[in-house]
Structure 1
Amino acid sequence: MAASRANDKQPIASVWTRPERRKRDQPALSRSQIVAEAVRLLDEEGIGALSLRRLGTRLNAGATSFYSHVANKDELIELVVDEVYGEIAVPEAGAPADWRADAARCAQSLRAALLAHPWMASVLGEVGVSQLGPNVMRVSAGMLGIFQAAGLPADEADLAFSTLAAYVIGMSISEASWLTALARSGRSEQDWAAELWPAAEAAAAAHPGLRERYAALPAKDPRTLRDEKFGYGLDRVLDGLAGAVGQRAG
């Protein structure tokens, strides 16, 4: 009955919508210790290795010692997602003319955080309400401020941020998934490209446009190609948003 009443007070199941459980004695582990070790585990072994039991082993603590901070695995994932968002740099909104450079810096920082933690590709948007986390809130508020400083009203600034974030997350998730698969294969990007190249040439033989494009690829580092693709798309998204900013200014 008590559990039922507790659930009634928490309409949405999330670590961000319930008070932390209290113990008479000070918990042996802090939430920050638990989250930091969970991120290390995920970085080293991936999402498939994450469990409260496995984490307890790494921390030399029983899973029950977590429950004052984390009720279940979904809550733990909400916490580690927010922890990664803490790595994202968001410039303070400056002069209206600076909005594009500021938005680009934030976009690049978001991409860097997602690629530094490839497991994020498999959890973003899938569990809980991570958007309520303090670091996610900080990033969202900062980006809204940048677009509002550019001259967009609050509702359109929110749409502009959503558009930019959708591009960055979509591209980064694809990259992160690829890098994860590459790591499992034991190959470097350069090794993979060199091994694939003969098959790619053969497949493109009947397509002159592709054949011409592929002819230029071996000279480029695969990471450089990924950076170029991301940068091109980011510029085009910002071009579109610049049009909206210009209409408001006009």
Structure 2
Amino acid sequence: MSESSTTSEAAKAAPRKRSGRRPKGDQDVSRDAMIACAIGIARNESLTEVSMVRIGKELGVAAGMVHYHLGSRDELISAVINAAFKDRVQRLPALTGEWRTDIEAFARSSLATLECWPGLATYILTENKFRLFQRVQPGEIDYGLAYFDHIGQILKAAALPQPFAAMAYHLLLLFVSVIAAEKENHQAPHAHSGFIGSYLMKSAQHYPGAEFLAADFVTIDSGSTFDSGLAVLLDGFEGWRKCSP
């Protein structure tokens, strides 16, 4: 995706000073090297494994040096998430002008990106900081804002009234994040079909509603859930478009 100059300028943060005095007697490592190390950990292990102490150990410097360059773990986590969000933006397909096609492509691309960053979907669903926008250095782009702008342009082109468009964005991102977290944590019914099926069989005669659902429920996987849920959302958005004045 190519961002407009307006988006790029809006996504740039105000300058920030380094925190504290530089530790003495320690090998220095650049801020970029520390962030690159953190990104490597996040991509190969999980976002939850990223910490100031871990970065210091990986690079052979004291945690104080990491704090000196980054200020706090918040700065580190935000930098890593912004790298993930950059990846997400760069994977977005070019817009076709057909709103259903563009929203579906947006959702599928977003899900594929989350699958490449272990722990990110769970973080987005459980944390308030940095789930949307990031703290960036002067001249850097906030790729959370660039992403927000991209889907906003799609929903605007779809002629959705603004209140419905805002809700459509929230529902879409919540849905994609939940599916990504379900896949990451192996929570789909099909992943536990043996346990669920045997449990329901023992008491099915006393719970007719459960018996009615059981056979098909245990076959549901994340892929079919995503396809069905996305179709329902798109149909709902179509209905909202009809509310346009």
In structure 1, the partner of 2:231 is: 235
| Counterpart among 1, 7, 18 of residue 21 in structure 1 | 18
Q: Which range moves more in the overlay, 108-117 or 152-161? A: 152-161
| Counterpart among 137, 147, 164 of residue 172 in structure 2 | 164
> Does the residue aligned with 1:132 lie in a helix, a strand or coil?
coil
Point out which structure has higher relative CO (alpha carbons under 8 A, 6+ apart): 2
Question: Is it true that 1:135 corresponds to 2:143 in the alignment?
Answer: yes
Q: For 1:190-249, what per-residue CA distance to the aligned partner results, in whole angstroms no more than 9, with x for missing partners?
A: 5x544554334324453344335433566x5x6xx211112211211111111122333x
Q: How does 1:35-46 map to 2 (within 5 A)?
A: 35-46=35-46
In structure 2, the partner of 1:10 is: none
> 2 CA distance for matches of 1:151 and 1:205?
50
Per-residue deviation, 1:118: 3.7
Q: How does 1:55-66 map to 2 (within 5 A)?
A: 55-66=55-66
Identity, % of aligned pairs?
22
> 2 CA distance for matches of 1:237 and 1:167?
9
Distance 1:202 1:168, change over 3 A: same
> 1 CA distance for matches of 2:208 and 2:30?
62
Would you say the 8 A contact 1:47–1:119 is kept in 2?
A: yes
Distance 1:112 1:54, change over 3 A: same
> Does the residue aligned with 2:206 lie in a helix, a strand or coil?
coil
1:116 counterpart letter in structure 2? C
2:198 counterpart letter in structure 1? P
Q: TM-score, normalised to structure 2's length? A: 0.70
In structure 2, the partner of 1:116 is: 116
Q: For 1:12-43, what per-residue CA distance to the aligned partner results, in whole angstroms no more than 9, with x for missing partners?
A: xxxx555253999xx63343x43343243245
> 1 CA distance for matches of 2:158 and 2:17?
39
In structure 2, the partner of 1:146 is: 154
Q: For 1:80-132, what per-residue CA distance to the aligned partner results, in whole angstroms no more than 9, with x for missing partners?
A: 2222222323334432xx11111111112222233333412443262534533
> Does the residue aligned with 2:201 lie in a helix, a strand or coil?
helix
Higher helix share: 1
RMSD: 3.5
Q: For 1:34-77, what per-residue CA distance to the aligned partner results, in whole angstroms no more than 9, with x for missing partners?
A: 33432432455545533211122123333333345421112222
Q: Give the unaligned 5+ runs of structure 2.
A: 1-12, 23-27, 135-141
Q: TM-score, normalised to structure 1's length? A: 0.69
> 2 CA distance for matches of 1:203 and 1:77?
47
> 1 CA distance for matches of 2:112 and 2:143?
16
> 2 CA distance for matches of 1:43 and 1:196?
33
Q: Give the unaligned 5+ runs of structure 1.
A: 1-15, 183-188
